[in-house]
C-alpha cells in the first residue's frame, strides 16, 4: 500500500492490515433489519439506497462489477466501468450500490431498465443515467483492509479515490441515528443504514450493520401467476413466497406495480419456466394458476405482514437477478 495511505493509520490499525493477494470475488457484508432505533457516538448512519448492491474490482487498470451473488454485471453499466478505469487509483476492491434516481429519490423501479439490459445503447444510458455510490474499501494495492474498523476504511476510501460523477462517495452522519431516520422518512427515502464504526468487515449478515427502514419491502420468490383479465396483457398477478428451510411458503399474490412492458417481458420469462405442480408447500386458494419453477426473485413493497404470513397491499417493484432464490427468507426484525 502506498506510504501516504498507511501514514493515515495508527500503529495499532496498521497491525490489522494484511498483505494479501486480491481475491477474485468477495461476499458483501449484509445488514440486519431492526425496529429498535437509536443514537450512539460509536455508530455512523448512511442513507439506504434503493439500487443494486455491487462489489467493485479494479485490477491492472481493468474494472469489474460483481453482484452480491457473485454474478458479473459489468456489461449493464459500461459508463461506470469507463469511469472506474479512469480513476488512476491503482488496484482496489470497494463496496457500493448502483443507483438511478426519480425526482431526487433512488428508485429500484427506474433502475430496472438498466439491470435487465446488457450492453445498453447511448440512448438508454442518457435516458436512465446511473451513479455508483461507494461506501467501503476492502482491499487496496495488495493489502486486505477488512480487519480495520469501518471509520478507518471509509477514511482510506476518501483518500484513495478522487470522486466525480458518476462515481460518488456515500457520506454519513455521526451519532444521531433517530433524527436522521426521521429526516429520511420525511424526504421519502427507503431508510438509513446504521453501522458500528469500530467493527471490521465480515462476509455475511451482521448485527454490526442495521437497517432502519421507512417503508416495508421484501425480496420474494415467484412461484406462479394468474391469467390476465379484460384488456390486461401478460398475466394478472404473481404468486410469491419465501423459503423456510427447503419449503417455499406461500405469501400471497401481487397484482399491482406493472406497466405493459413489464407484464409482457416477465410473462415471457415465466412461460419458459412453467410446470404442472405447485412449488409451494402451502395450499394456494386461487382459481386458474400457472405454476413455474421458482427461479425468479422479485422485490415487493407492502404495508405489513398478516398473522398468517401473507403480504398486505403488496406491489411489484422489480426483478432481482442478484439473489439466489433459495436464500430468500422472510426478513425478521432483530430485537436487542
How far, in Å, CA of 303 to CA of 286, rounded?
Answer: 22
The C-alpha angle 209, 211, 215, rounded to 5 degrees, equals 170
**What kind and span of H or E run contains 157?**
helix 150-160
- The grid coordinates listed for 224 are 406462479
Cell numbers linked to 108:
429500484
**Catalytic: 323?**
no
d(CA 41, CA 151): 12
Contact between 334 and 34 (Cβ < 8 Å):
yes
Which pairs count as long-range contacts for 77-82, CB under 8 Å and 24+ apart, including other chains? 77/114, 77/130, 77/132, 78/119, 78/120, 78/125, 79/125, 79/129, 79/130, 79/166, 80/130, 80/132, 80/166, 80/167
Residues whose CB falls within 8 Å of the CB of residue 182, separated by 6 or more in sequence, listed in order: none
Residue among 16, 20, 48, 276 flagged as catalytic: 48
Round to whole Å and give the CA distance between 252 and 308.
Answer: 10
Give dist(CA 193, CA 52) in Å, integer: 15
DSSP labels, 15-46? TT-EE-PPPS--PPPEEEEBS----EEEEEEE
The set of catalytic residues is: 48
Amino acid at each position: 500500500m502506498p506510504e501516504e495511505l498507511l501514514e493515515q493509520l495508527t500503529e495499532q490499525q496498521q497491525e490489522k492490515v494484511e498483505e494479501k493477494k486480491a481475491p477474485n470475488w468477495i461476499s458483501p457484508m449484509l445488514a440486519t433489519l431492526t425496529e429498535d432505533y437509536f443514537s450512539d457516538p460509536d455508530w455512523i448512519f448512511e442513507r439506504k439506497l434503493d439500487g443494486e448492491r455491487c462489489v467493485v474490482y479494479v485490477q491492472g487498470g481493468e474494472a469489474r462489477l460483481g453482484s452480491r451473488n457473485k454474478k458479473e454485471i459489468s456489461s449493464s453499466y459500461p459508463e461506470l466501468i469507463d469511469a472506474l478505469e479512469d480513476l488512476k487509483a491503482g488496484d482496489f476492491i470497494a463496496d457500493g450500490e448502483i443507483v438511478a434516481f426519480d425526482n431526487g429519490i433512488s428508485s429500484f423501479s427506474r433502475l430496472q431498465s438498466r439491470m435487465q439490459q446488457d450492453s445498453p445503447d447511448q440512448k438508454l444510458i442518457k435516458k436512465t443515467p446511473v451513479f455508483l455510490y461507494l461506501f467501503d474499501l476492502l482491499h487496496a494495492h495488495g493489502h486486505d483492509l477488512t480487519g480495520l474498523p469501518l471509520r478507518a476504511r471509509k477514511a482510506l476510501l476518501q483518500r484513495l479515490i478522487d470522486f466525480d460523477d458518476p462515481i460518488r462517495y456515500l457520506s454519513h452522519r455521526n451519532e444521531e441515528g433517530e433524527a436522521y431516520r426521521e429526516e429520511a422518512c420525511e424526504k421519502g427515502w427507503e431508510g438509513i443504514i446504521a453501522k458500528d464504526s469500530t467493527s471490521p468487515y465480515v462476509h455475511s449478515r451482521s448485527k454490526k450493520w442495521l437497517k432502519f427502514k421507512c417503508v416495508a419491502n421484501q425480496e420474494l420468490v415467484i412461484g406462479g401467476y394468474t391469467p390476465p383479465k379484460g384488456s390486461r396483457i401478460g398475466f394478472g398477478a404473481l404468486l410469491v413466497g419465501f423459503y423456510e428451510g427447503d419449503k417455499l411458503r406461500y405469501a400471497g399474490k401481487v397484482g399491482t406495480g406493472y406497466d405493459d412492458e413489464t407484464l409482457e417481458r416477465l410473462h415471457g420469462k415465466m412461460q419458459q419456466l412453467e410446470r404442472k405442480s405447485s412449488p409451494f408447500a402451502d395450499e394456494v386458494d386461487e382459481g386458474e394458476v400457472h405454476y413455474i419453477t421458482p427461479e425468479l426473485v422479485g422485490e415487493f413493497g407492502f404495508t405489513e405482514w398478516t398473522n398468517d404470513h401473507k403480504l398486505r397491499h403488496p406491489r411489484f417493484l422489480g426483478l432481482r437477478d442478484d439473489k439466489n432464490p433459495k436464500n430468500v427468507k422472510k426478513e425478521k426484525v432483530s430485537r436487542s
